[in-house]
Amino acid sequence: MKFPHKFSLKEIAKLLEVEYIGADDFPIYGCNEIHVVESGDIVFVDHPKYYDKALKSKATVVLINKKVDCPEGKALLISKDPFSDFNKLTKHFKAFKPANSSIAQSASIGEGTIIQPNVFIGNNVTIGKNCIIHPNVTIYDDCTIGNNVTIHSGSILGADAFYYKKRKTGYDKLISGGSIIIKDNVDIGASCTIDRGVSGNTTINEGTKIDNQVQIGHDTIIGKKCLIASQTGIAGCVIIEDNVTLWGQVGTNSGITIGENAVVLGQTGVTKSIKGNLTYFGTPIEESRKKLKEIVEVRQLLKNQKK
């Protein structure tokens, strides 16, 4: 999530009411989660296990809950609660704007696009040319949709990330300030849900086709010309490379990569990253021929035991 213009370390520290280590005029351009940070960004960390990763990341400002040695060329913001202070930044720079119409005046809709009745289109949404948006679709603020995209009834684009921190008092939500990018020639079936990124974008690339009742988590990136069948659940921060096929009721862990041209058969649990150009099956996931062979061997063993 980029800020509207450059801010200084001193200005951000004043906004958050925290101490800082670094030059007053140290430049800050945005804030992001660690997997999408760039130079000029703030990243937050609140557990010693991840201090080193955050301090060595591309982020040039680290929002941290302990005074540590500041790496050369970086700055620190010292916070009692980095999680809550990261939320403060999102609230300040990406404040929620209530809607006052079904299609926001700030929305941009391309030539030849058809918007069916009972569609909601939020603030600053961009929809390209020759799209069809069927009834009862909801498109939250700031989503970007390319040309020749079809979205079927009941689908929801841009709901918040499912991201919570457990505390003694319950669960604190990490506020979502990212968005969604849908590229050209994508089809989205009925009753699909695609969550916005926490600070970056959930992205579906050109030519991908998505069946009904599919859930796609925050910050996931889906490649070109993928096929995703009904009732598949894709967790947050997953990378699915080009030409991947996920058959019905596939589920994935977060933070994994599915390689190019991989095929995942129905009801498989993708518990780890997998290589491309192979077909997979089962939970735990294995290459399908190996898994099916194991199943046959187990059945034969059980059959022999009964004799």
Domain containing residue 49: CATH number:
3.40.1390.10
Instruction: Indicate if 157 and 123 belong to the same structural domain.
Output: yes
Does residue 302 surpass a pLDDT of 70? Answer: yes
Instruction: Indicate if 247 and 132 belong to the same structural domain.
Output: yes
Query: Cβ distance 2 to 30 under 8 Å?
Result: yes
Tokens of 188: 């989205």
Segment 267-293 shows an average pLDDT of 93
Tokens of 235: 């967790």
Backbone conformation region of residue 47, classed left if phi is above 0, alpha if psi is from -120 to 50, else beta: beta
Segment 82-107 shows an average pLDDT of 95
Instruction: Indicate if 119 and 241 belong to the same structural domain.
Output: yes
Angstrom distance (rounded) from CA 44 to CA 285: 33
For residue 99, tell me if it sits in a domain. no
Segment 174-193 shows an average pLDDT of 97
* Tens digits of residue pLDDT in 241-279: 999 999 999 999 999 999 999 999 999 999 999 999 999
pLDDT, averaged across the chain = 95
Segment 126-130 shows an average pLDDT of 98
Instruction: Indicate if 117 and 89 belong to the same structural domain.
Output: no
Angstrom distance (rounded) from CA 30 to CA 108: 25
Angstrom distance (rounded) from CA 1 to CA 267: 35
| The predicted structure's pLDDT at residue 307 | 64
For residue 152, tell me if it sits in a domain. yes
* Tens digits of residue pLDDT in 191-227: 999 999 999 999 999 999 999 999 999 999 999 999 9
Q: Which residues contact 132 (CB under 8 A, 6 or more apart)?
A: 113, 114, 116, 149, 150, 151
Segment 114-123 shows an average pLDDT of 98
Angstrom distance (rounded) from CA 158 to CA 201: 10
Does residue 228 surpass a pLDDT of 80? Answer: yes
Segment 156-180 shows an average pLDDT of 96
For residue 140, tell me if it sits in a domain. yes
47 is catalytic: no
At residue 298, the 3 state secondary structure works out as helix
